[in-house]
Amino acid sequence: MKQIQTIAIVGAGAMGRGIAQIAAQAGKQVLLYDLNADSVKAALADVHAVWSRLQEKGRMTAEQVDAAKACLQTASDLQALAPADLVVEAIVERLDVKQGLLQQLEEIVSADCVLASNTSSLSITAIAQACRHPERVAGYHFFNPVPLMKVVEVIDGLRTSPEVGDALMQVSRDMGHTPVRAKDMPGFIVNHAGRGMNIEGLKIAQECVAPFYQIDAIMREQAGFRMGPFELLDLTALDVSHPVMESIYRQFYDEPRFRPSPITAVRHAGKLFGRKNGEGFYKYEDGKKQLPQ
Ligand code: NAI
């Protein structure tokens, strides 16, 4: 099985920087690239700040922080990703853009480099179809925030070689994550199962049975979830999760149980995305959720 030591990450947003953090902490050589140079800069500062906090709390030693910093390098163009054993893309959730990126990468990386997509909802088989070697393409679906959500889905597309999935299973364990293997079906496991709680939560709010924050409270306190559906939507951010809901609905040929809600549609249109821009279902001050008065 291919040993993965150098990991390139394309997309330095919420997901890319989290993947970069855990990979560097595990001693992998990391190359972080984004089309937007400011995003790479912000990601590096963000990850360094996390490591400083972990050191202050005694959860990392100064030597471990120095070693992790040395492992995390930034790249200013795609050509610099040539040494990668694995490229994980965490860019915008659009099939044509992801396909275009993988086609470009195939011209740069080695013949046995694995190309993985962190897509939440797009078909791995469809992403891979644009590549000359679709057998090297797999889904690699982390959750937000990556360092805390210690599970990851490894998804085999119809043409993915089993060894590629095996290599991703192994590198996940190297990084302290628990990998779960899934087939290429809309929403894989989590975004398929998770529809139930999100969609019913939105329906309960739409039917005015209870306000959103009370629905969250009961799902947390009584049902035992770490977050309620609206807290989770705010964390994931509606610019990501609303298109995901629409995509999964379409891919299941408009199956009613997956139908997205007009509540998220209107909030998506109004850019009330969530935590990341300060207002979603809740408002956020200094990153802290405010309960409605
Ligand atoms: P984000 O919006 O925080 O970051 C995306 C980054 O990709 C941006 O910095 C942007 O400049 C960059 N980018 C866009 N197009 C690019 C290109 N062609 N080449 C290089 N860089 C490019 O997005 P986020 O939340 O990190 O999501 C990224 C991917 O991960 C999406 O496919 C999303 O569906 C998936 N995902 C998101 C989760 C979440 O909770 N936010 C959870 C699991 C998966």
Per residue in 35-80, pLDDT tens? 999 999 999 999 999 999 999 999 999 999 999 999 999 999 999 9
pLDDT tens digits along 25-44 = 999 999 999 999 999 999 99
What are phi and psi for residue 114, nearest 5 degrees?
A: -85, 135
* pLDDT for residue 290 is more than 90: yes
Q: Which residue from 92, 98, 236, 246 has its CB within 8 A of the most atoms of ligand 1, so it is best to mutate?
A: 92
Given the residues 117, 118, 121, 191, the one annotated as active site: 191
* pLDDT for residue 245 is more than 90: yes
Given the residues 120, 121, 172, 198, the one annotated as active site: 120
* pLDDT for residue 17 is more than 90: yes
Given the residues 141, 177, 242, 268, the one annotated as active site: 141
Separation CA 164–CA 154 (nearest Å):
10
What are phi and psi for residue 180, nearest 5 degrees?
A: -125, 130
Q: What is the pLDDT of residue 194?
A: 87
Q: What is the pLDDT of residue 292?
A: 87
The two tokens of residue 87 are: 């490229």
Q: Is the pTM of this model over 0.90?
A: yes
Residue carrying the six token digits 């809901």: 245
- Assess whether the C-beta atom of 237 lies below 6 angstroms from ligand 1: yes
Separation CA 16–CA 143 (nearest Å):
11
pLDDT tens digits along 129-177 = 999 999 999 999 999 999 999 999 999 999 999 999 999 999 999 999 9
What are the angstrom distances between the C-alpha of 249 and each of 53, 65, 243, 259?
Answer: 41, 43, 10, 6
How large is the average pLDDT for residues 196-214? 95
Residue 153 falls in the annotated catalytic set = yes
The two tokens of residue 253 are: 């040929």
* pLDDT > 70 fraction of the chain, expressed in percent and rounded: 100
Per-residue pLDDT band at 10 (split at 50, 70, 90): very high
Burial degree of 39 (CB within 10 A; 0-12, 13-18, 19+) = middle
Separation CA 215–CA 191 (nearest Å):
20
Q: What is the pLDDT of residue 293?
A: 79
Q: 239 with 199: CB under 8 angstroms?
A: no
* pLDDT for residue 1 is more than 80: no
